[in-house]
Structure 1
Amino acid sequence: MKGLRVLVLGGGIAGVTSAMSLARQGVKVILVEKDDFLGGRASRYGCKASDKCTKCGVCLVVDRLRSLPLYIHAGSIEVMEGSRLLSLEGKSGSFTATVVTSPRYVDKGRCTGCGACLKVCPAEGEGAIRRPPVNGTERHVAIDPGRCLRWKGKECALCADACPAEAVDFGASSSLSRVEADAVIVATGFEPASAGVLPDLGYGRFDGVFGGHEVEEILTKSGRLHLSDGSVPKRVAFVQCVGSRNLAIGRDYCSEVCCRYAMRMALAYKRVEPSADITIFHMDLQTNGPGVPEVYKSCLDKVRFVQGMPVDVKPVEKNAGDGTGAGVGDQGDITGRLIVRYEDVWKAEVKRESFDAVVLSVGIWPPSDAREIADRVGINLDRHGFLGAVDSPKAGGLGVRTIRDGVFLAGACQKPRTIPETIAHAEACALAVISMLGAEVA
């Protein structure tokens, strides 16, 4: 299939998988990613193995990202990071895309990834120098204008002064490119549901209430979850279906991934904190999928499952008289700092329990720019706001084809998917593109 070109929008695991599959068939791929680095959200997650592999799929992401440079150096995949699609003209077999690339303020050709700039950056928190999410995939760094003191009106050039390769370029500007392609794959991923979508659950209001995606990233970076006072939570509650299966917020679909990652994270947490007491509150549990029944079975003697959804989460209020929290709820045994009030489905009553931390297992939402993407590539959205496929999986299709010939979908931009499911879908998408291109060439 020499001479054929495919534009892939999105450099997460779906886009990277489709790109590599196409490249192996001799197709030239232009991979466009809006972030400064490839990998997407899945690259920020960590292995959730306990005493054995739980088949979360994170290692598959790392393996693919570390293999990608081979294709890039061979010239079969061209990467455009920090780039967005502005328009897509033409038809299947002869598309012309206009792409805008924002400056990263670091010359990729010069940067050696030595880390000298990281050591001197005075910006608060993690600093203004961004690094690749997975070690060994890309060596260069980028400057985040949102954090950099220079973009806040302050005089600072410490990173430029420290760089031995003179790679820092504060004067870099945006550029426009025209990309010719025979087909387009949209693999723009998803967004985690807002952990604050249900305000009564306390996210952003009370110490110890976390979003599931946050906990995943925290455990990946530090291996342990800490509260603001530095303590490690011993009693942890997971609350399922936050941001999905809820008509009141217009998200009636199941995100499919939340039960699986909650159980895996619970086991991983028990591995580092064996004495931890973990409870998962749920409507019902999704225990299907590769390795998931085994994960559920492993949880049965380590994690308590409660079929009942929390109504609200509030901090423990100390009694003025005795300085204890006893009497806040109906448990009497108040040892944590948060009170979870929930409905016990089987007993048809409201109960209260105390925990040190509450993890809101957020679902999957369409990307916030889904409408913009759909308009620019000329396709539709489904009723949930995901990019629309004409061969819907619910009707027995693959979920890769759209209303515009030559434009395909890969991964969680089309519907919620786990990492392994996303990889399989991206492979199927690449095969569909190859099949179409082969038919057109013939």
Structure 2
Amino acid sequence: MTPNKNSKFTTMKKQFLYSLVCFLFLGNSFAQQTPAPKQTNDYTIEGGTAHLGNGQVIENSLIMFSNGKISFVGNANMKIARKGTVINAKGKHVYPGFIATNTSLGLAEIDAVRATRDFDEVGTMLPHIRSIIAYNTESKVIESMRPNGVFTAQITPRGGTVSGTSSVVQFDAWNWEDAAVKLDDGIHINWPNTFSRGRWWLGEDPGLKPNKKYAEEVTAIKEYFEDAKRYLSGNRTPKNLPYESVQNLFNKSQKIFIHVNGKKSIIDAIDLFKSVGITNMVIVHGEEAEKVATILKANNIPVIIERAHRLPSNEDEDYDLPFRNAKILTDAGILVGLGMEGDMERMSARNLPFYAGTYAAYGLDKEEALKLITLNNAKILGIDDKVGALEVGKDATLFISEGDALDMRTNKLTDAFIQGRKLSLETHQTKLWKRYSNKYKNQ
């Protein structure tokens, strides 16, 4: 019997429509929340303890903002007309939105699924690779940052010697163009290690040993930037895109972020880039930076430190040195920010304020610890004219917490705004938390 072609077509059509409906349903269930609409109504936050992010605190504060900008910051006792919707923050705390530096947020979703990872390109010298192009605003990981007050981040590529160019984004956007706060803020370079670890799978001693190729690798970096400088000062023919991409390092409008550890390596890196005419530097990681604090201060070089929850890099160092590092560098007069590179860096970035709180527990003043993830990070990224502190004229990127935002036990956001837009703080994680909280309440 010959099959009915029309019935076969109808069946295939139904299967296609069913698949399309399932796809749209799943896509909707996994997509990030719709970005908030532009601010049209004024807001006034009254009575809260305002931590301005610049080291100052105002008890019983009054903060007003309209059209996405902060219009007033002062004491609630002042006789001034309140505008728009008034939020009573008495007994609560108001903070500027937190800023994470040196993250790969939005460049990967699931570590175990290679197709979701887009933070490392093939090659070694890649200053022309722009991380912003790969940034995914639909990331579920990004959504989970907001309930802890992390609203802005530097999106940084990984791998190679010169990894590429980072950009700064805010976490309430339809696409990377909407998300961008500052495009191509800096180029990232991974400095060679003075020591290498033996590869046990090749029968080598697994312990640390001097890196015999260190001098060769440093020379290769110097030659690359010298070649780029000669190219940029010549007729630029034929066009070399990687060399074109570093021109802003030489005119000081762009920073070079040097990922480096060790006293010798830090000094070598500073000397090398000064020798080729690049002076707008930031040290990232910076283990043993406290040993060269005088040099860093003399050259006005900030340091982006790592999370404190780690062991000392050397056996003869104090066990709590990583926890005291922020205070040591701050006391030396160095601009210090807090970065997030490392194990589970994307998922752990939501804990940024609690890492800052750890530094506060080990000697750093609480408001100075707050600056690590507010004004200091904003200055390092060159966005302190927009965010980083509760100041008139800056973006109304801020939140209200029931308690101390640097303490995971009390940082519970009630209201949050990015550029004046009121955010939803609901995420897949808060939904799961509520679901299982109710499960045990009913038993």
Query: Normalising TM by the smaller chain, what interval?
Result: under 0.3
TM-score by length of 2: 0.25
- Report which of the two has the higher share of helix: 2
TM-score, normalised relative to structure 1: 0.25
